[in-house]
Amino acid sequence: MGNAFGHLFRITTWGESHGAGIGVVVDGCPPRLKLTEADIQPELDRRRPGQSRIVSPRKESDTVQILSGTFEGRTLGTPICMAIINEDERPEAYLEMKTKFRPSHADYTYFAKYGIHNWQGGGRASARETLGRVAAGAIAKKILRERYGVEVLAYVKQVQHITASVDPEKAEFDEIESNIVRCPDRNAARKMIRLIEKVRQAGDSVGGIVEGLARGVPPGWGMPVFDKLEADLAKAMMSLPASKGFDIGSGFGGVVLTGSEHNDPFRARRGRVYTTTNLSGGIQGGISNGQTIYFRVAFKPTATIMRQQDTVDLQFKNTKLKARGRHDPCVLPRAVPIVEAMTALVLVDHALRHKAQCK
């Protein structure tokens, strides 16, 4: 329950943070797509811990293995199962959490729902679950890129009070990957890195905003009413660990504008309709209009901090807890490929739904 996502292109993730491994089953991938582990691994490498001084030092290669759904390097159209073995589990770092709930984690709410407490790294609620999403997203991105000419990107837009100046129409992958915080504004990136290092040394954490975008999406993708394209994007982003907000196009900033200021005027050229501005964020009425789709996801500060906090134990008695273990002082750098993955999963699902219904 709650572990599957998508309609025609459907994924089911499995595994826990400190269990044997993490993985995903992808159902609905079209046949004859060229696919090997080499197509998946680069995306997992961008998400893995231990890649820089501002992320969790947990040492995991996050090596993916395709167990089913391909033959001689091509997809069969049958379910694709991918697995990543956990290599650096240290459940002993969580012994104190065996009897205590971590503030702002899912420990208490999972216990309230299921009546069992997986204290080793948060179990299913751990951000390590997103490995499966990124692996599946790599397939989705490949389909979008090769069959539809769609490019999906994300980058760190803001860390606490430091905001980058980035034009979604001009952001490029190489610029995003040029620094460890994954912000294409290099001046802002330097300030962000210094801030993250500072809060880490203080045993604290910090949050911010990731901006996602999709360029080259043709007009017509999406559905009316309940399955609007932006509604599915919102659900995808709000399903991510630590996400606390979503807005698209002008977002909350649009409330200060008048209709005449906010409307995107239409123009036609060589048989193509386009808008001269893009405050709609590439989607109108729940359906793509051919312009760049762009949106923002707010992430809270990492809940695990190296400071003593008030909490309760399994007997609901007041106590104290000072966390241990290896954690990100800021989730944003590693959230970038996860936001891209979820964007791609939404878009490829709607691409297939559009083809099935309208073409």
Task: Spell out the residues 6+ positions from residue 45 whose beta carbon is closer than 8 angstroms to its own.
Answer: 51, 62
For the chain, where are the E strands, in sequence order? 4-5, 10-15, 21-27, 64-66, 70-71, 74-75, 80-85, 151-159, 162-163, 208-215, 243-248, 266-269, 272-275, 283-284, 287-288, 293-299, 308-312, 318-322
Q: What is the pLDDT of residue 232?
A: 98
pTM beyond 0.85, yes or no: yes
92 pLDDT above the threshold of 70: no
Q: What is the pLDDT of residue 325?
A: 62
Nearest to 30 by CA among 352, 358, 252: 352
Q: What is the pLDDT of residue 101?
A: 92
Mean pLDDT within 272-281:
96
Q: What is the pLDDT of residue 89?
A: 64
1 pLDDT above the threshold of 90: no
Give the chain's mean pLDDT: 93
The fold adopted by the segment(s) 4-358 is Chorismate synthase, AroC fold (3.60.150)
311 pLDDT above the threshold of 70: yes
- Lowest-confidence segment of 48-52, 98-102, 236-240 by average pLDDT: 48-52
Q: What is the pLDDT of residue 54?
A: 87
pLDDT 10s digits, 74-83? 999 999 999 9
Mean pLDDT within 213-231:
97
pLDDT 10s digits, 8-37? 999 999 998 888 899 999 999 999 999 999
Cβ-contact 26, 79 below 8 angstroms: yes
Q: What is the pLDDT of residue 49?
A: 80
pLDDT band for 150, please (50, 70, 90 cuts). Answer: very high
Task: Spell out the residues 6+ positions from residue 226 whose beta carbon is closer than 8 angstroms to its own.
Answer: none
- Lowest-confidence segment of 125-129, 164-168, 216-220, 320-324 by average pLDDT: 320-324
| Cα separation, 343 vs 138, whole angstroms | 11
Quick one: what percent of the chain has pLDDT higher than 70?
Answer: 97
253 pLDDT above the threshold of 70: yes
90 pLDDT above the threshold of 80: no
pLDDT 10s digits, 179-217? 999 999 999 999 999 999 999 999 999 999 999 999 999
Q: What is the pLDDT of residue 91?
A: 64
pLDDT band for 129, please (50, 70, 90 cuts). Answer: very high
Higher pLDDT, 324 or 145: 145
Nearest to 48 by CA among 38, 69, 35, 62: 62
273 pLDDT above the threshold of 60: yes
